[in-house]
Amino acid sequence: MNGSELKDVLRGGGKVYGTMISVSRNPRWVPLLNDVGLDYVIIDTEHNPRSRGELGDFLTMWNTIDVVPIVRIPIPDSHYVTMTIDAGAQGVLAPYCETVSQVEEVIGAAKWRPLKGKAVRDLVADGTEVSEATTKYLENRNKNNIAIIGIESVEAVNNLENILKVPGIDGIFVGPNDLSISLGIPDDYNNPKYVDTVKHIITTSESAGIPVLVHQQSMELSEFWANNGARFILHGTDRRAMVEGFKSEFNKLRNL
């Protein structure tokens, strides 16, 4: 699967399944994940240190297997978007977006690179083309690129309907930790305030034809949101899978 095919599944109303790569750094790990049920991965560079060179080597290996590599960039900034895609990512997750202008900057860089400046701002804002030929060229050049927008605060939720009007968004990301903190109920994922807010995000986004990722760490919560409208399934991390796998198997061995 590539980025374009992943988007086709979502546009057709289907689900895709992925995880967050938080601690894995050595490219030699990548082929091991080709047949474990992943459609895509989110490679985290917001909360985990990766140099530009390390990321480039890592992405080179990801592009040899049938899993779509998407990178969570540090901030919603066009420089990070283009730098990441130039390194081989097939998409970006832009964290903590709260304004239309932030989202337009991300979309402009992800979907219309290498167009820059006023030309790309006008194209994203109102569809003003440099030329029909340039538009077709850039659409084809960036056809695999996926743009995911992080809605992780009360301010972002309040501005969601305006954000969703920006053309080119492929997914909305809910960061549970940040969102619950902003709601005043840190990590209380069963709290009705959190549940109602995420349901509102899913309903509003799906009404605009855009799927939602809710990144939860437990099977119980991931299953809950998969059964309540989340179609861009994002479950767990590589760190959690390794720890839980070892714990489960060695607990069984010790109890023999």
Distances (CA, A) of 216 to 119, 207, 223, 226: 39, 23, 9, 11
The proportion of the chain whose per-residue pLDDT surpasses 70, expressed as a percent, equals 100
Q: Where are the domains of the chain?
A: 3-254
Task: Give the mean pLDDT of 40-52.
Answer: 94
Average pLDDT score over the chain: 96
User: In this predicted model, what pLDDT tens digit does every residue of 179-205 receive, in sequence order?
Assistant: 999 999 999 999 999 999 999 999 999
243 — pLDDT class (breaks 50, 70, 90)? very high
For domain 3-254, give the CATH superfamily. Phosphoenolpyruvate-binding domains (3.20.20.60)
208, 205, 224, 228: which is closest to 216 by C-alpha? 224
pLDDT of residue 142: 97
pLDDT of residue 15: 97
pTM for the whole structure = 0.95
Query: Mean pLDDT across the stretch 110-135?
Result: 96
pLDDT at residue 106, as a whole number: 98
pLDDT score for 202: 98
Distance CA(175)–CA(14), nearest Å, equals 22
Mean pLDDT of all residues in 168-181: 97
